[in-house]
Amino acid sequence: MGTLIELVLEALKFILPAYCANAVPVLVGGGLPLDFGKNFYDGKPIFGKNKTFRGFFFGLAIGTLVGVIEAFFFTEYPISFGFLLSLGALLGDLAGAFLKRRIGLAPGELLPVVDQIDFIIGALAFSLPFNVLSLELALTVLLITPPLHIITNFTAYKMGLKSNPW
């Protein structure tokens, strides 16, 4: 694929809609929880109060918009790519929240590794039908995301957008 820098840039271009979809709920979330405040059969919340309809749909819209813009500049990504990548990212994040509730962690509590890659696993899975994901690209995305996730979350915390630095 080229040099390390080219590979990292390709990975960032590829995953940008998912990054945006995952970040937007922090900025615009709030309101009605996706699980309507209901508990699962184990008596614990399904997703928790931090996973809201507003955050989900704004994340999906912005991630999709980023994907549409990318599709105009990068012909290897069809116009629907950003939508599916964003949807996968948001559903991956919900799966992580579901897992955290099952093991007794409250919304906002840290679950290392899962918190950094749940949305990426979802995005990568939803990108598979497009046949644009190589093993090298997937591994690069998985390697660059945790440090970027930590840096952006810490920045959001310092800016008062998040109540914890993770």
CA 78 from chain centre, in angstroms, equals 20
* Predicted local distance difference test score (pLDDT) of residue 1: 54
**Cβ-contact 32, 52 below 8 angstroms:** yes
Alpha helices by DSSP H, the chain: 4-28, 53-73, 81-102, 114-127, 135-158
End-to-end CA distance of the chain: 32
* Predicted local distance difference test score (pLDDT) of residue 166: 85
**pLDDT tens-digit series, residues 35-80:** 999 999 999 999 999 999 999 999 999 999 999 999 999 999 999 9
3-state secondary structure at position 32? coil
* Predicted local distance difference test score (pLDDT) of residue 163: 86
**pLDDT tens-digit series, residues 101-154:** 999 999 889 999 999 999 999 999 999 999 999 999 999 999 999 999 999 999
**Cβ-contact 45, 101 below 8 angstroms:** yes
To 5 degrees, how large is the angle CA 125–CA 129–CA 134? 70
* Predicted local distance difference test score (pLDDT) of residue 28: 94
* Predicted local distance difference test score (pLDDT) of residue 164: 86
pTM (2 decimals)?
Answer: 0.94
* Predicted local distance difference test score (pLDDT) of residue 2: 72
**Cβ-contact 82, 93 below 8 angstroms:** no
